[in-house]
Structure 1
């Protein structure tokens, strides 16, 4: 598929921020094409240099496809079986929509477990660093701007330092010496999210758009990223209880991940979303509520993201 060919297809949805733009097309074969490209404030085209490291999901259809993209028109093109993300389905109050999301989360968990079985760095493979989301969080925490100043005034310096410590634990930064490899770890998706999880429209498998943010880290990072979104959505709008969806994810993933690290990762996800919003959309007074909410989450280390201490 080429960029001119995409222009001839029906566009079903288009949205984005200064960081990234998403367009959803109806494919000629009846499926759907998701194109993600750089926003106006992005540093350049999107690439997926570590895509070859992604394992094939378990057979049988119970695991989501980790879709590996084609590089098209400065962005990444994914072929999937659905036109709407899990995040969009959670805004749909028709019977069955929430069940569909629960099934998609369970399938994503199974594929993430297979992804996390890959140890990195691998001889001859691409060098993997910190997930870009954590890099943006670190840059924001060490920089300036209205959101940082307001958050620091409410949180105090101690809470901000705790966030940075958690980020280092979940995905250590490469050493300061040029050319130094990141610490050994596991292959992580880097941006496992409801917006990147696409349930099928009718037949087919759920898909987790994968590639651009692949990185080295701990498995708890990806789990916490999804759990943090569920916590934030439950706080922002009814239904207020997301424990059914949280358990669907954790039960399907299985034992192993540390619940403390998982909860901390959930907090990092919510703070990253908050700072991305301020950076790429601008200040909004609604962020004051997020600042107070995240202060509570930091203090409890995100325990509400991991129901009954499960993981």
Structure 2
């Protein structure tokens, strides 16, 4: 059975109503936009430590040994059925994404993962000295790269849309990567960034009213991480 800790808070409830007990109630956005200096690298380290704590949990019989829910939902675009992804990523790009998704869910380095550990689930205390990663709904079994790459993809998106936040986002990313475990193939991390960008493009368009043109901006950003082994950010205009 999983238990709450200082860093990880497991939701209680059902599929329609979830609650979390935490003293952390400030969003990360508040600290990113605060003109006062905040140690974003420390926040990134805390975030990474919370991920590693989840990854070290030994799932019991109550946890299904299946892919995280976000990876399951990605089938809606991984198969090429969504035309914008098929057009921008091309057959080769989608093939690389599919190959990556298979390795994330079927490889030898699988652990319990959060599944959707972005900024909406990472809350901080007002002084940013501690935080809580809210979890439980999207958990599954996958490579730990999946979780780290999900956050790095979100950071890449923010950096592209809001280049003035680049310095603080870089600190946040550095802190997160301080906690990144050793993996056989670091290129998988850039493909994980691309996956998060494409997945958000799909959700943004289908559930949040974004136009095809807006979603395409994220798809084009994703291609940087699919085609370039090192990955590059670019400003979106």
Aligned to 1:233: 158
In structure 2, the CA distance between the partners of 1:53 and 1:204, relative to structure 1 (3 Å rule), is same
| Cα distance in 1 for residues equivalent to 2:163 and 2:128 | 29
The alignment's TM-score, normalised by the length of structure 1, stands at 0.65
Quick check: 1:119–1:185 contact (8 Å CA) kept in 2? no
Identify which of 58, 72, 78 aligns with 1:135: 72
8 Å CA contact 1:138–1:164 kept in 2: the answer is no
Matches within 5 A, 1:202-281: 202=127, 205-239=130-164, 240-241=166-167, 242-251=169-178, 253-257=179-183, 258-281=185-208
For structure 2, the residue ranges without an aligned partner over 5 or more in a row are none
Which of 114, 117, 122 is 1:189 aligned to? 114
- State the superposition RMSD in angstroms: 2.7
Within-5 A mapping of 1:1-311: 52-53=1-2, 57=5, 65-71=7-13, 74-90=16-32, 92-97=33-38, 99=39, 101-119=40-58, 122=60, 124-142=61-79, 144=81, 148-172=82-106, 185-202=110-127, 205-239=130-164, 240-241=166-167, 242-251=169-178, 253-257=179-183, 258-284=185-211, 285-301=213-229, 303-304=231-232
The residue number in structure 2 matching 1:20 is none
| Alignment partner, residue 25 of structure 1 | none
The normalised TM-score by structure 2 is: 0.84
Higher helix proportion: 2
| Residues matched between the structures, number | 229
Distance 1:151 1:203 in 2: 38
Instruction: For CA contacts below 8 A with separation 6 or more, give which structure has more relative contact order.
Output: 2
Aligned equivalents of 1:87 and 1:302: distance in 2? 27
Query: Which structure 1 residue ranges, 5 or more long, are not aligned?
Result: 1-51, 58-63, 174-182, 306-311
Listed one character per residue, the Cα deviations across residues 193-247 of structure 1 (whole Å, up to 9, x for unaligned) are 1221111014873000111111101111111111111111111112335332211
Higher-Rg structure is 1
Q: Which has the higher strand share?
A: 1
Cα drift, residue 133 of structure 1: 1.2
**Which secondary structure does the structure 2 equivalent of 1:195 belong to?**
helix
